[in-house]
Amino acid sequence: MELQAVRGTRDLLPGETEKWAEVEKWGRAVFAAFGYRELRTPLFEHTELFQRGVGETTDIVTKEMYTFEDRKGRSLTLRPEGTAPVVRAYLEHHLGQGEAGQAKLYYLGPMFRYERPQAGRYRQFFQIGAEAIGYDHPSSDAESISMLVEFLARLGLSGLSVDLNTVGCPDCRPDYHRELLAFLKSREDRLSPDSRERLGRNPLRVLDSKLPQDIEATAGAPKTFNFLCTSCSAHFAGVQRHLGLLGVPFELQARLVRGLDYYTRTVFEVKSGRLGAQNAVAGGGRYDQLVGQFGGPARPAVGFGVGLDRLMALLQESGALIETEPEAHVAVVAVGEKAFPRCLALAHQFRRSLFNGFPVRTFLDLNPGRGVKSQMKRASASGATYAVILGDEELAKGEATVKDMVSEEQFSAPLGNVVQEIGARLELKGGKP
């Protein structure tokens, strides 16, 4: 048997990982600007966390979770989404500040769902998300959406659309559910088998179906915003008003319900037409009951998750993401084995020095017997801006021969000052590590 990655998973290779790191860097920078701090949770949790949080009738819990028993018979699950673990950590470690228990937290990392792999969708996939807990004003919903849009804009994306809806609250949702169920029952024979199954468990999930058969059968379904209580109606109007103040365009989408049971009031998605039928790049909403469901005090909350696999595919296709190379700014080349120990020490000196706040990226061929021509070829392939060449002649003079790998100009620099000399020249070139 030829060993390969498990179906639905993949390796992120050198050349790709640099691009992922760039996207993650912008996420951290944008979220920090809005006052969010990073939280890292375990890859697996007690299964009950997701049953109680995500919902026992959702496809995630009934069909898609990777669940197993440990050696003591405890049921554990690889996390299928990020919000429930964040709320668990928020409660366990008392992360809320002030009387309202406010906390702004973001996370990134792998999630796991057993579903059919397709374009931009994997069984191990990656998310970056943000949760604002303890915030109930509609401006916090608008801020969360605007932060998401700002993050995507910083990556160079344009032409994305924001879909907005509300699913009401426990006070007004039952009336809507009754009307929706009656409507769907009248068309049950036109629904897909999966949607007919959902009717008895959670009719709202039928609207979440992306199958053309279900979309056609549910055309004209009751709209959630026609059943809102006074409080939910005012909140939804406030979200729209604040999005307008922030200059974030959106469209009302009555079919948008999201796939998780914990959502209340606002739900939203950011979509791209470049990703086929499964075109949601990011989505989220408000979940005002989840903290209480986990045994904590009543705490309103709003957040979102970004599917990084889909986002990377979109960036690649649109050309928005700048191609990055793991450039080594400096290469140290040994002419003969006698010079190698001094080259090794010099490479270490470069790596310990700082340029633009980072260690200087330095290439050194660790095969002392390799010829100079071969080393220079490898130095060029590494992306080095300068090659520092040391041989018997240079050691005798106490100097290094430095070659500009772009202009091919050569000059000499004292061994004791070569790091500073190259650093100054990189500064003039506007180089970045």
Going by C-alpha positions, the residue among 52, 104, 7 that lies closest to residue 261 is 52
Per-residue pLDDT 10s for the chain (433 aa) are 789 999 999 999 988 898 999 999 999 999 999 999 999 999 999 999 998 887 766 767 777 899 999 999 999 999 999 999 999 999 999 999 888 899 999 999 999 999 887 776 899 999 999 999 999 999 999 999 999 999 998 898 877 889 999 999 989 888 888 888 888 888 888 888 888 877 777 787 788 777 888 888 888 888 888 899 999 999 999 999 999 999 999 999 988 887 667 889 999 999 876 655 556 789 999 999 999 999 999 999 999 999 999 899 888 887 776 655 545 589 999 998 889 999 999 999 888 887 767 778 889 988 888 899 999 999 888 888 899 999 999 999 999 999 999 899 999 999 889 988 888 887 755 444 3
Residue at a domain's end among 271, 286, 318: 318
Residue 233 and residue 380 in one domain? no
Would you state the structure tokens that stand for residue 345, as one six-digit string?
Answer: 């020490």
At residue 127, φ and ψ (nearest 5 deg) are -130, 150
* 7 in a structural domain: no
- Cβ partners under 8 Å of residue 25, min gap 6: none
Residue 411 and residue 349 in one domain? yes
Residue 111 pairs in a beta bridge with 125
Residue 355 and residue 282 in one domain? no
Q: Return the H-helix or E-strand segment holding 309.
A: helix 308-318
Residue 313 and residue 420 in one domain? no
The CATH number assigned to the domain holding 353 equals 3.40.50.800
Going by C-alpha positions, the residue among 320, 319, 333 that lies closest to residue 382 is 333
* 90 in a structural domain: yes
* 355 in a structural domain: yes
> Alpha-carbon distance 11 to 347, whole Å?
30
The rounded Cα 403 to chain-centroid distance in angstroms is 40
* pTM of the complete model beyond 0.85: no
For the chain, how many structural domains are there in total? 2
* 2 in a structural domain: no
What are the helix (H) ranges across 37-192?
47-53, 59, 83-92, 138-154, 173-185
* 217 in a structural domain: no
> Alpha-carbon distance 225 to 233, whole Å?
7
Residue 392 and residue 292 in one domain? no
* 188 in a structural domain: no
Residue 140 and residue 256 in one domain? yes
> Alpha-carbon distance 300 to 346, whole Å?
56
Tell me how far CA of residue 95 lies from CA of 102, 105, 294, in angstroms.
8, 9, 15
Range 200-233 burial, b when 16+ CB lie within 10 A, else e: eebbbbbbbbeeeebeebbeebbbbbebbeeebb
Residue 351 and residue 280 in one domain? no
Residue at a domain's end among 264, 284, 318: 318
Which domain range does residue 361 map to? 330-427
- Cα angle at 52 between 78 and 116, to 5 degrees? 45
pLDDT for the residue 63: 79
Residue 346 and residue 281 in one domain? no
> Alpha-carbon distance 407 to 207, whole Å?
62
* 132 in a structural domain: yes
* 220 in a structural domain: no
pLDDT for the residue 433: 39
The CATH number assigned to the domain holding 294 equals 3.30.930.10
CB of 124 closer than 8 Å to CB of 110 = yes
Residue 255 and residue 387 in one domain? no
> Alpha-carbon distance 432 to 185, whole Å?
62
pLDDT for the residue 388: 94
pLDDT for the residue 313: 86
pLDDT for the residue 215: 86
Angle, helices 138-154 vs 17-33, to 10°: value is 150
Tell me how far CA of residue 349 lies from CA of 255, 276, 343, 369, in angstroms.
60, 50, 10, 22
Residue 299 and residue 395 in one domain? no
Tell me the three state secondary structure of residue 8: coil
> Alpha-carbon distance 339 to 356, whole Å?
29
Tell me how far CA of residue 62 lies from CA of 50, 51, 66, 373, in angstroms.
11, 9, 11, 61
Going by C-alpha positions, the residue among 391, 419, 418, 387 that lies closest to residue 405 is 387
Residue at a domain's end among 318, 348, 373: 318
> Alpha-carbon distance 43 to 66, whole Å?
11
At residue 198, φ and ψ (nearest 5 deg) are -70, -25
Residue 148 and residue 290 in one domain? yes
Residue 150 and residue 266 in one domain? yes
- Cβ partners under 8 Å of residue 234, min gap 6: none
